[in-house]
Structure 1
Amino acid sequence: ANGKVSCALDDQLVFSLRPAYKNYYELVTVSALDREETAQYMLTVTAADAGSPPLTSSHTFTVAISDVNDNAPVFNQSSYTMYVRENNAPSVLVGAVSAADADVGLNAKVTYSLSAGQAAERPWCSCLSVNSESGQVFVLRALDYEQLRQSEVVVSASDAGSPPLRANVTVRLLVLDENDNAPLVLYPAPDSGPASSELVPVSAEAGYLVSKVVAVDADSGQNSWLSYHLLRATDPGLFAVAAQSGEVRLRRPLTDRDSVKHKLVVLVRDNGRPPLSATAALSALLLKDFSDLRQAHSSPATDDQPGSLTTYLILALVFVSLLFLGSTAAFVARGLCKRKELKAGHVLYGADNLPSGLAEAAAAGTLPHPYCYE
């Protein structure tokens, strides 16, 4: 009995000792092990004989748990939101993603990449790139807020285990607006002519709404806040422009001394830094009644009528002059031809110069055909 030995573990629920053969014991696991929970165990084995009193001996040793790739990478955020200003420089850094793996060694080495399926479904995601080692996110090209206000990509983190495990996270990129668009005037249209003049009755009182300038700005936020200002006017004291609405109103009642036609230039300015602006040109007609309107519209045609009549008269005079010159030239040419024919033939200027036989024939009116006379 004094030489009979038994071994036991002290306070262990994970391992146990199982007799193999005389004085040999096997250390076996009782339950599944997880290296991520306990990487190693300190075991104390006590050997005791069966004597009286029993004598014992103890030994402590370490059991290290080896790693297997049973943990996928885990990102430190459920999603990422990054910001970049429009008109950015190419390859600008906008942020970084980070993932950790609970394993060790190659099983914990994480690399980053864009999800291949995402890039195929949304080609415009090519504006973003991620560094495979550090997880830094770059914008590869300049962005325009008016064309692309936000973008989403899926970044994948993969370990180097076998087989590799991976995790995905959504990265949202927001483009911040810059004041790079000037206001656009919708009314009055820049190419509008005199027909778009605003009609104002002479009886209008102060505060009468003459017109309203309408403008928009493609930017957002305070870059799109517009204000309206009267830049120039034929009579600056007669008109006022509302700074917020762009309404053009009369400052005072009209009088007989006011001009019939007025021209105004309204400045439209945004609230960006630096501010951008545009101008709108307006014209106003002061009318007593609608007969003034007809006269105003018919006056250009009346002015054009004398010009057209003068053109027709000039054309007629040129035609008649050419006809007269042509006729005169024809008559002169015909006379010259006849004079040459008379000089070439026998010209009879009187019966006294003719021979006696021809004189009698001339008196009788029966000259032969070869003779000509005037």
Structure 2
Amino acid sequence: VSEDGRQHFRFDRASGRLVVADRLDREQLCGQADTCTLPFELLLADPLQFFRVEVTLDDINDHSPVFPEERVTFKIPETSDPSSRFPLEGALDLDVGSNSVQAYRIAPENKHFSVSFGSRNDDDKYVELVLEKPLDREEQTEMDFSVIAVDGGSPPRSGTAQIHIIVLDANDNSPVFTQEVYLARVLENTPEGSVILTVLATDQDEGINGDISYQFRQAGEQSNPAFEIDPKSGEIKLSKPLDFEAAQTHELRVRATDGGGLSAICKVLVEVLDVNDNAPELVVSSFSSPLAENSAPGTVVALFTVRDRDAGANGKVSCALDHQLFFSLRPAYKNYYELVTVRALDREDTAQHILSVTAADAGSPPLTTT
């Protein structure tokens, strides 16, 4: 009995071996989590026993790094000082650990630029182009090269973004966001079209060089259709309903670009708050019927499990049995319950018993399943 209801493994009763039931995709099952564990309970009957099993999936290097854009254009003033940095959206590699992106390089080598790659903290990696030598628009107005992302697999995989540099005159101030990280907390039942957050960047330049536009910047297969941003105001709105059970957080990247081509990037974290929108699920795992009338009190008639996809009190479930003289419920293991007899049965008196079990969560108001 797996926690997510999906059967990734099957049990070979003849040999006692646990075997894979279908192809396991670590990225599909666990995303980019550091560890990927598939837990489930092994239920043995007669006598009733429970065993908890955890299977850990190891990552293989089956994904190449992918840049959000195949071609990126930077408009850089010739007045830019050496060591100036220009943020570049890093490549996304769905693999984890050493199989994820480990290095970036420029090809062919460029005397004006190098690439810098690192982490400000555990969750915030950055990639930047670094100006090594002053630009001269009169000497060269444009240049092209590639940035290559390489992962640590064996053999390694790589992804490439084409960089196009346009050398400009005199836009000497980049946009600056009021915050490096914006945080929004949103109820999962918030209506479509609601404004959840507004990002703001300022630019000290005047005229077109101070006009700022906003865009989302994310890798293609990881783009988030639940949000949209107003390019002028920086308002971020919901474009589709959120689902706490599907994703509890969303990470967005917003680029602010001024009229001269300079840009800055900020992170937006959207925390989805749970509402009680899932009723408890009640699943019968085993059931004995008919039942001999000479069954002793305490005989297990049925075993069932309850779960609720909501979190906190909204996912805390209790069970009750409608008024009964012959049967009762008792907890068995974690979220398992046993239906047992509590007194002698008499077929001649009552040949059939119809029982109703109600599972209720602790939400306000509570949701129930019978």
TM-score by length of 2: 0.46
Query: Which structure exhibits the higher relative contact order, with contacts defined as CA atoms closer than 8 Å and separated by 6 or more residues?
Result: 2
TM-score by length of 1: 0.46
Question: Where is the strand percentage greater, Structure 1 or Structure 2?
Answer: 2
More helix by share: 1
